[in-house]
Amino acid sequence: MKLKIFLTLGIVFFIASAFGVGSIRYLVRPGDRLFNIIRDYNLRISTVLDLNCIDDPRSLEPGEFIYLPTGDGFFYEVQYGDSIDYIAKLFFALAEHIIAANNLSCNSVIYPGQRLFIPLESISVCSNANPGTQFTWPVYGKISSEFGWRKDPFTGVSIFHSGMDIAVQRDAPVFAAKEGTVIEAQENGGYGLNIAIQHYDGTKTRYAHLNHISVYVGQRVLRGELIGRVGETGRSTGPHLHFEIIDSRDQCRDPRSYLTGSNYMYVRRETDSLGVGGR
- Give residues with Cβ within 8 angstroms of 81, minimum separation 6: none
Tell me whether residue 160 or residue 200 sits nearer to Zn ion (CB atom). 160
Least Å distance, CB 62 to Zn ion, is 41
Tell me whether residue 163 or residue 278 sits nearer to Zn ion (CB atom). 163
State yes or no: residue 165 binds Zn ion (CB under 5 A).
yes
For residue 45, the surrounding DSSP H or E stretch is helix 45-51
Other beta carbons within 10 angstroms of residue 278's beta carbon come to 18
Least Å distance, CB 209 to Zn ion, is 8
- Give residues with Cβ within 8 angstroms of 119, minimum separation 6: 71, 72, 73, 97, 101
- Site string (125-164) toward Zn ion, x via CB under 5 A: --------------------------------------x-
102 burial type by CB count under 10 A (0-12 exposed, 13-18 middle, 19+ buried): buried
Report the candidate in 226, 205, 203, 219 with the shortest Cα–Cα distance to residue 72.
226
Stretch that binds Zn ion, among 39-47, 93-101, 147-155, 235-243 (CB under 5 A): 235-243
Cα gap 192→209, rounded to integer Å: 5
193 burial type by CB count under 10 A (0-12 exposed, 13-18 middle, 19+ buried): buried
The answer to whether 73 touches 30, Cβ cutoff 8 Å, is no
Find the residue with minimal CB distance to Zn ion: 242
State yes or no: residue 209 binds Zn ion (CB under 5 A).
no
Cα gap 101→118, rounded to integer Å: 7
Pick the binder of Zn ion from 242, 245, 277, 278 (CB under 5 A): 242
Tell me whether residue 9 or residue 252 sits nearer to Zn ion (CB atom). 252
Site size toward Zn ion, by CB under 5 A: 3
Tell me whether residue 21 or residue 246 sits nearer to Zn ion (CB atom). 246
Stretch that binds Zn ion, among 26-34, 56-64, 84-92, 236-244 (CB under 5 A): 236-244
State yes or no: residue 244 binds Zn ion (CB under 5 A).
no
Least Å distance, CB 230 to Zn ion, is 13
DSSP-assigned letter for residue 84: H
Stretch that binds Zn ion, among 78-86, 92-100, 130-138, 234-242 (CB under 5 A): 234-242
Question: What residues line the site for Zn ion (CB under 5 A)?
Answer: 163, 165, 242
